[in-house]
Chains A and B, each alone.
Chain A
Amino acid sequence: MNPYLGGFILGLLIIAAYYFAGEGLGSSGGFRDMAMGSIQAVAPEFAAKHPYIAPHVADGHSATHTWLVYELLGVIFGAILSAVLYGRLRWSVGKAPHLTKRRRLYLALLGGILWGVGTQLGRGCTSGLVLSGLAVDSMSGYLGLAAIFGSGYIFAFLLRNLWLKPKNK
């Protein structure tokens, strides 16, 4: 798909999300809801007393019964639909050619853990914090953009061997 067209459609989806649900598109929030929901299911009393979970499960609310979780379910279907249409649905590992698969998977796991912590601290990820924040000119979106991409460019330079083939000496 044309990148600008994709962006345009994505922008309309953000508008729709704000128009109907009153909130932006997000991802990490949905994962947080699922994690909290699983804790709530296993140990409801612990969840009800935990300072971070409690607001999400107050009054017997289910932490997983949220807009963001349903939106994420949709993401799964949408992605599969597109992959089928473009003939890209198959098992594979995306990586720079010079990396081993095992190394790439460990790095992906590690990167994921960093995101798990970072999103909870920073109140959202690239979609929930930055994209949806920018859409309403919220300062949080601009700060998130600067922090994520600012640190991204610094680390990208330091860790360039992860993505670019090291030059032969």
Chain B
Amino acid sequence: MGPLYPQELLKPEYNLLIGFLIGIGFGFVLEATGFTNTRKLAGVFYGYDATVIKTFFTAALTALVGLFLMHHWGWIDIYKTFYPSTFWIPTLIGGAIMGLGFVVGGFCPGTSLSAASTGKLDGLAFLAGVLIGIYGFIFTYPFWWAGLRASGKLGKVNFPQWLGIRESIFIFLFIVVAVISFVLYQKWQDHWKAKMTKDDLDELGL
């Protein structure tokens, strides 16, 4: 029963090897679906390209439903994984900074690595920025960030439980909302498509 590594059912070296293989799949999917194209990513915010929204939420929901069912079928115990703890204050502030970075830089860290690997210079510049930002954070951590990063601790919180909603109903509603937003985004994209030039359409691969 999973997760294997935290229960010492998997040797560390195999764990790293599997990490490498999963990474290959991750990078492949990101490139293949067009996440290395910064204009497609920006399409999330302006609606001219619905690809990223579709891929992103399909991934989240597939994993959510899959892990939920596997947990109940006894294939994996979600709570033996390194379940993320919630620190609401730094997550909201950090998230707001990332949102600005998304619009300014046109990537997020994972997509920029894929983009840089395939020869996109903007991805490379973004990647350099991420490392600079991390170094900057580390060196200023003791006097700028330490207190803020540890604030707002809520522990390991299951969101539907926190809301007081049955988890399965929450998941089902999430799926419904996602499918509706897929349709709306598709409409938004179609609306743009009429105005786009052939070059634009080629570049976005629509």
The residue of chain A having its C-beta at the shortest distance from the C-beta of B162 within the complex is: A139
A11–B205 alpha-carbon span in the complex (Å):
23
Question: By the criterion CB–CB under 8 Å, are A107 and B106 in contact?
Answer: yes
Chain B residues with CB under 8 Å of A142's CB are 159
Is A57 at the interface (CB under 8 A from chain B)? no
Grouping DSSP codes into helix (H, G, I), strand (E, B) and loop, the A interface class, with mixed when no group exceeds half, is helix
A88–B123 alpha-carbon span in the complex (Å):
14
Question: By the criterion CB–CB under 8 Å, are A78 and B26 in contact?
Answer: yes
B29's contact among A10, A34, A133, by CB below 8 Å, is which?
A: A10
In the complex with contacts A74-B27, A122-B95, A159-B104, A139-B158 CB distance below 8 A: yes
Number of residue pairs A-B, CB distance < 8 angstroms: 526
Question: By the criterion CB–CB under 8 Å, are B98 and A73 in contact?
Answer: no
Tally of contact residues, A, Cβ under 8 A: 122
Question: By the criterion CB–CB under 8 Å, are B91 and A122 in contact?
Answer: yes
Question: By the criterion CB–CB under 8 Å, are A135 and B64 in contact?
Answer: yes
Chain A residues with CB under 8 Å of B105's CB are 107-112, 114-115
A166–B91 alpha-carbon span in the complex (Å):
33
Is B80 at the interface (CB under 8 A from chain A)? yes
Is B173 at the interface (CB under 8 A from chain A)? no
Is A146 at the interface (CB under 8 A from chain B)? yes
Is A118 at the interface (CB under 8 A from chain B)? yes
A150–B32 alpha-carbon span in the complex (Å):
27
Q: Name the residue among B27, B170, B171 with the largest chain A CB count within 10 angstroms.
A: B27
A52-103 contacts to B, CB under 8 A, are 52-53, 65, 67-68, 70-83, 85-86, 88-97, 101
Chain A residues with CB under 8 Å of B63's CB are 11-12, 14-15, 18, 131-132, 134-135
Q: Name the residue among B60, B127, B128 with the largest chain A CB count within 10 angstroms.
A: B60
CB distance from B108 to the nearest CB of A (A): 4
Question: By the criterion CB–CB under 8 Å, are A14 and B59 in contact?
Answer: yes
Chain B residues with CB under 8 Å of A12's CB are 62-63, 66
B86's contact among A26, A109, A138, A155, by CB below 8 Å, is which?
A: A138
A89–B127 alpha-carbon span in the complex (Å):
18
Chain A: residues with CB nearer than 8 A to chain B? 1, 3-4, 6-28, 31-32, 34-36, 39, 50-53, 65, 67-68, 70-83, 85-86, 88-97, 101, 104-127, 129-144, 146-156, 159-160, 162-164
Q: A6-B33, A119-B109, A120-B145 are in contact. List 8 more A-B contacts (CB 8 A).
A: A4-B58, A7-B57, A10-B29, A25-B110, A75-B110, A75-B113, A123-B84, A137-B160
